């Protein structure tokens, strides 16, 4: 029996320069079903529509046509802020998603409140330190030794590992990984990908990951989607992905 549908895009279209001679569809009638526990990798050349797809799911970009459904509920017009209750995103730039003057522990504490109403109260940071020590120990680069370090003083790899932890510390319904290893050196990138796979698997997360690394797209996840010109051109399941010839994937 298939897992329940958690996210569905129905005929989603996004224009730029609409109603002008320069009108372009940057998403063109996209239909997509994401089931619970899917780990989908996305491939495509620059301008294919991958980040645009993430932007409409996260609420950064309004759609012009179609519907976006979460658990069967239409969220097409729900604000980005309200979507943070069930959607988390990790960006390519390690500087995004963290507060540089706050310590690692303070950033993690902030992440535990994602999607909640904020009020004036004691932050009670110390009582969380043991949990934060354990969770950061699952990441590479000795992040667990830097809990009291301002985030701006971390290496790029440590900061991206922190961004990933912040996005997953409260298990989101959907995790969007927007080339989250692209700015890292090969060794650090590989380490974070292994940690990502472990967390997604152990916490039974539903994740979508944009990558330019063909080998990562084939190695990780249970589905592989290829985008071109704002459309999904290929959607391979686990078996099809395992048998795919990397050179034959029609990305460009």
Contact 220, 209 (CB under 8 A): yes
Model confidence, pTM: 0.93
* CA dist., res. 95 & res. 88, Å (int): 16
Tell me the domains of the chain and their CATH numbers: 38-61+79-115+125-248 (3.40.50.300)
What's residue 117's pLDDT?
61
Does the pLDDT value for residue 120 go beyond 60? no
Nearest CA to 90 among 16, 22, 25, 181? 181
Each residue of 53-104: pLDDT tens digit?
A: 999 999 999 999 999 999 999 999 999 999 999 999 999 998 888 999 999 9
Q: Which residue, chain included where needed, has tokens 């995103």?
A: 89
66 φ/ψ sector (left φ>0, alpha ψ -120 to 50, else beta): left
């Amino acid at each position: 029996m298939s897992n329940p549908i958690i996210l569905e895009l129905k005929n989603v279209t996004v224009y730029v320069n609409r109603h002008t001679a320069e009108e372009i569809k940057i998403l063109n009638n996209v239909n997509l079903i994401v089931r619970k526990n899917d780990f989908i990798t996305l491939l495509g050349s620059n301008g294919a529509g991958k980040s645009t797809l993430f932007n409409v799911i996260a609420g950064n970009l309004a759609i012009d046509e179609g519907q976006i459904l979460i658990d069967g509920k239409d969220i097409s017009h729900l604000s980005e802020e309200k979507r943070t209750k069930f959607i988390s995103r990790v960006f390519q730039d390690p500087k995004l998603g963290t507060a540089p003057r706050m310590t690692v522990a303070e950033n993690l504490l902030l992440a535990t409140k994602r999607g909640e109403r904020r009020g004036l109260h004691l932050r009670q940071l110390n009582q969380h330190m043991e949990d934060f020590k354990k969770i950061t120990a699952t990441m590479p680069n000795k992040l667990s030794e830097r809990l009291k370090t301002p985030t701006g003083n971390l290496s790029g790899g440590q900061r991206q590992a922190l961004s990933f932890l912040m996005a997953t510390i409260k298990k989101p319904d959907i995790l969007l990984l927007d080339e989250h290893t692209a700015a890292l050196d090969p060794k650090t990138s590989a380490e974070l990908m292994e940690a990502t796979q472990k967390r997604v698997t152990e916490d039974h997360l539903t994740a979508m990951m944009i990558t330019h690394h063909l080998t990562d797209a084939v190695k990780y996840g249970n589905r592989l989607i290829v985008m071109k010109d704002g459309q999904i051109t290929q959607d391979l399941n686990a078996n099809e992905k395992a048998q795919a010839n990397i050179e034959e994937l029609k990305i460009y």
